[in-house]
Amino acid sequence: MVKELVAAQNDFFATQKTKDVGFRKQYLKKLQQEIVAQEDAICDALYADFKKPKFESLATETQLALAELKHAIKNMDAWSRPERVSASWSNFPAKEWIQPEPYGKVLIISPWNYPFMLAISPLIGALAAGNTAIIKPSEFSTHTSKMLAQIINKVFPPEYVTVVEGGVEVATQLLAEKWEYIFFTGSTKVGKIVYKSAAEHLTPVTLELSGKNPCIVDETATIKLAAKRIAWGKLINAGQTCIAPDYILVHKSVKDALVNHIQQHITEFYGQHIEASNDFARIATHKHYEELKAMLEGQQVLFGGDFKDEDQYIAPTLVDEPELDSTIMEGEIFGPILPIISYEDESELDTYISKYPNSLAFYVFSGNKKFQKRLMDHYSFGGGTINDTVVHISNKDLPFGGVGRSGIGGYHGKYTFDLFSHHKAISKRGTWLDVPLRYPPYTIPIGWIKRIKHLF
Ligand code: NAD
């Protein structure tokens, strides 16, 4: 089936239909209508997958996708237009421009943690740029993946866009095909597999991967507000957010205050009986749930720490001063568990931050502008926020993505369109004049060439 779909998309792309911006827009509008019509059903599917609260489903999945759609529909004419550049004087007479063109067939492989948005958001840019697409959603978010397939299959013919459901085996079959672009969101481990498969065909990739995101709180931070914003960013989607703060580095003098305020805010958010709250999600996969439980073994728990196997509930949990070589500090936590580590001198921070280089996100809470700048300038990370968490993702004018171990490429808004477009450089020469300087036999003195610099 994979081979037939790929062949059908090749043939469809070759018809040149997707080169027409009107054609693309018409389909994006249909997609928009269908998402609006199915919004409640999408939220129900997300709830069935991991009890994702409806507010979070709307705010972080459907409405984000709709905002991306609206922005693309409004701007895609302008984005698709050739962009004139000043012609180089050595090419006189000439007109020169950059012409975006679609690559062809795009493969989008998405994870389970934001199973709707992380499949739809890249798709919007891929289609706005004129590509065809196959989406392989996660096998662990079955209800949302089915919903996604239902929506896509209603809106698009399969030779244009389709969803292929399945696990590793299906992903492997898809990766064996030749694609013109691969957009992968998931773990760094699988990202490397995807990158290797892409290299076989020299296929360009975007890899949206993971990291262990530090959150630094110094003694000048507004502690109560910092605690609230950290608790929110950590616990939305039950901590299963690639840009959630992973661990806290807090100045010793404000540690107790920070911990107390985080506890208070958690109780304000979810009440005394957190597992009864409709506003707190569950862990989406059994494997991941077991891994999170194992991370707590032998740790000093300051708050929370309880879990419930029946529905994969893990309480918001604060862990006190874990050893650097403990499981919880090995890699990304990806759940509602937050290690709190104190420091006394700024020079101690590097031991932690440099142990997990190129985090996907980076957070600093401080009233000291020089301290903020020092950290932001010193470390390489995907993106970050000063005095809040997660919110840098919400501005479509900011590229979202990783660097080094946390990924390759950034998207959202026009960045997604550009990522899925090849930027063709074109020079159109006039024929009424032909300056003879560049042609052999070479008669101009060498000294002149050095002075002119651009002979052609
Ligand atoms: P994953 O890497 O296990 O799976 C992602 C996708 O890859 C799924 O569709 C899966 O079926 C497929 N896959 C799994 N094994 C494969 C293989 N061997 N060959 C080909 N495809 C394979 O990731 P996950 O567990 O679904 O998602 C969680 C991870 O994703 C976390 O590490 C998180 O940080 C990361 N993530 C990153 C971003 C980002 O924007 N950077 C966003 C969300 C999640």
Instruction: Choose among 424, 406, 411, 425: nearest CA to 106.
Output: 411
What pLDDT sits at residue 270?
98
For ligand 1, atom 21, name the residue with the nearest CA: 171
CATH 3.40.309.10: which residues of the chain?
214-401
Mean of the per-residue pLDDT values of the chain: 97
Instruction: Write the burial class of residue 201 (CB in 10 Å: 0-12 exposed, 13-18 middle, 19+ buried).
Output: middle
CA quadruple 380, 386, 389, 395: dihedral sign = negative
Average pLDDT for 198-223:
98
Q: Are strands 94-102 and 83-85 parallel, antiparallel or unpaired?
A: antiparallel
Q: Is 407 in the pocket of ligand 1 (CB under 6 A)?
A: yes
Q: Are strands 307-308 and 313-314 parallel, antiparallel or unpaired?
A: antiparallel
The kind and range of the H/E element at 27 are helix 21-50
Average pLDDT for 122-126:
98
Q: Is 109 in the pocket of ligand 1 (CB under 6 A)?
A: yes
HSE toward the beta carbon, residue 51, CA cutoff 13 A: 16
Provide the β-strand partners of residue 407. Answer: 208
Asked whether residue 346 carries a pLDDT value surpassing 90, the answer given is: yes
Q: Is 359 in the pocket of ligand 1 (CB under 6 A)?
A: no
Q: What is the pLDDT of residues 61-103, one digit of tens each?
A: 999 999 999 999 999 999 999 999 999 888 999 999 999 999 9
Identify the CATH class of 214-401. Answer: alpha beta
Q: Which atom of ligand 1 is nearest to the CA of 189?
A: 2
What pLDDT sits at residue 10?
98
Q: How close is the Cα of 64 to the center of ligand 1, in Å?
A: 20
Q: How close is the Cα of 46 to the center of ligand 1, in Å?
A: 17
- Tell me which residue has tokens 């899925």: 420
Average pLDDT for 389-402:
97
For ligand 1, atom 12, name the residue with the nearest CA: 168
Average pLDDT for 97-113:
98
What pLDDT sits at residue 3?
96
**Which of 138, 145, 165, 392 to probe ligand 1 with, by most ligand atoms within 8 A of CB?**
138
Asked whether residue 216 carries a pLDDT value surpassing 80, the answer given is: yes
Whether domain 2-209+408-423 has CATH 3.40.605.10: yes
- Tell me which residue has tokens 């208070």: 264
Residues 6+ apart with CB under 8 A from 197: 175, 176, 182
Please state, for a pLDDT cut of 70, what percent of the chain lies above it: 99
3-state SS assignment for residue 254: helix
Provide the β-strand partners of residue 182. Answer: 107, 205
What pLDDT sits at residue 452?
73
DSSP 388-434: SSSGGGG-TTS-EE--GGGEE-EESTHHHHHHTEEEEEEEEE-SS--
CA quadruple 128, 132, 138, 142: dihedral sign = positive
For ligand 1, atom 26, name the residue with the nearest CA: 111
Count the Cβ atoms, other than its own, within 10 Å of residue 141: 28
For ligand 1, atom 13, name the residue with the nearest CA: 168
Asked whether residue 445 carries a pLDDT value surpassing 90, the answer given is: no
Average pLDDT for 92-115:
97
Asked whether residue 453 carries a pLDDT value surpassing 80, the answer given is: no
3-state SS assignment for residue 447: helix
Contact 126, 161 (CB under 8 A): no
What pLDDT sits at residue 151?
98
What pLDDT sits at residue 437?
84
What pLDDT sits at residue 449?
80
CATH 3.40.605.10: which residues of the chain?
2-209+408-423
Q: Is 111 in the pocket of ligand 1 (CB under 6 A)?
A: yes
Residue 261: pLDDT band (50, 70, 90) is very high
What pLDDT sits at residue 90?
86
Q: Are strands 361-365 and 214-217 parallel, antiparallel or unpaired?
A: parallel
3-state SS assignment for residue 340: strand
- Residues labelled as active-site residues: 208
Q: What is the pLDDT of residues 145-165, one digit of tens each?
A: 999 999 999 999 999 999 999
What pLDDT sits at residue 26?
98
Q: 118-128 b/e with 16+ CB inside 10 Å = b? A: bbbbbbbbbbb
What pLDDT sits at residue 421?
98
Q: How close is the Cα of 190 to the center of ligand 1, in Å?
A: 6
Q: If DSSP states are collapsed to H, E and C, what string results for 368-396?
A: CHHHHHHHHHHCCCCEEEECCCCHHHHCC
Average pLDDT for 358-374:
98
What pLDDT sits at residue 454?
66
Instruction: Choose among 331, 372, 56, 52: nearest CA to 339.
Output: 331
What pLDDT sits at residue 456?
65
Q: Is 242 in the pocket of ligand 1 (CB under 6 A)?
A: yes
C-alpha gyration radius of the chain: 25
d(CA 456, CA 440) in angstroms, rounded, equals 13
Average pLDDT for 419-429:
98
d(CA 146, CA 360) in angstroms, rounded, equals 29
What pLDDT sits at residue 455?
64
Q: How close is the Cα of 292 to the center of ligand 1, in Å?
A: 17
Q: Is 213 in the pocket of ligand 1 (CB under 6 A)?
A: no
- Tell me which residue has tokens 């600093």: 364
Average pLDDT for 341-362:
97
